[in-house]
Amino acid sequence: MDFLKKVETLLNATTRSALPRRRRRSVLDAHEEKLMTEIREALAAVEAQERVLAKRLKMEQVQAQEAAQQGDQLQQQAHQRRAAELERELEEESIQAINLEEKLQALEEKLALAREAVEKQAEIAAAMEEEAAKAMALSDRETEMNASPATAAEPAEKKTTLAKNEAELAARKSRLSG
């Protein structure tokens, strides 16, 4: 890993580490929660309406039965007609409740997938941060190791090189003079 890559990794890790993990609240999180709340409220209202319609349907059926026992066919037909209308309304409310439940479930699944993705990104960021720390520690060690032997070795190398040069010069002089 070259030095620029190490620095880049370190910078990325330090900028990410300054930000808190999943505790951040984004606009999408707030919007999704608001949407889920609205769907739950609508679902509760539809279920309440279903219960009211079911009670009214039972009452109409009971009244139609009482009218039939009394022999009043007009009343019986009127109650049966109202009961049929209530059944259609109840069916529509049931369909609406099912649709709302499906939307709520789909949104919850989507939110769970988003949370998993954020957690994976946090894990990746933590791994990169750890890698950057290791790289910097290794780089520091290499720099220290390279710096200390090099500074100690340079004067010794210079001394031996100078000594060799002087010896060679003396040998040349002796050959030329002699």
Our measurement of the distance from residue 51's CA atom to the centroid of its chain's CA atoms, rounded to an integer in Å, reads: 39
Q: Is the pLDDT of residue 71 over 80?
A: yes
pLDDT of residue 13: 63
Residue 25 has a pLDDT of 61
> How far, in Å, CA of 90 to CA of 48, rounded?
11
Six-digit token pair at 103? 């939307």
In this prediction, residues 132-143 reach a mean pLDDT of 80
Indicate the pTM of the whole model.
0.51
154-to-26, 40, 113, 150, 159 alpha-carbon distances in Å: 58, 77, 60, 6, 9
Joined together, the tokens standing for residue 112 give 């769970």
Instruction: Provide the greatest CA pair distance for the chain.
Output: 155
CA distance 13 to 7: 10
What secondary structure does DSSP assign to 39-92, as a single string? HHHHHHHHHHHHHHHHHHHHHHHHHHHHHHHHT-HHHHHHHHHHHHHHHHHHHH
Per-residue pLDDT band for 23 (boundaries 50, 70, 90) equals: low
pLDDT class for 134, splitting at 50, 70, 90?
confident
Share of the chain above pLDDT 70, in %: 75
Cα–Cα distance measured from residue 51 to residue 32, given in angstroms and rounded to the nearest whole number: 28
63 has pLDDT over 90: yes
Q: For residues 34 and 111, is the Cβ–Cβ distance under 8 A?
A: no
Q: Is the pLDDT of residue 16 over 70?
A: no
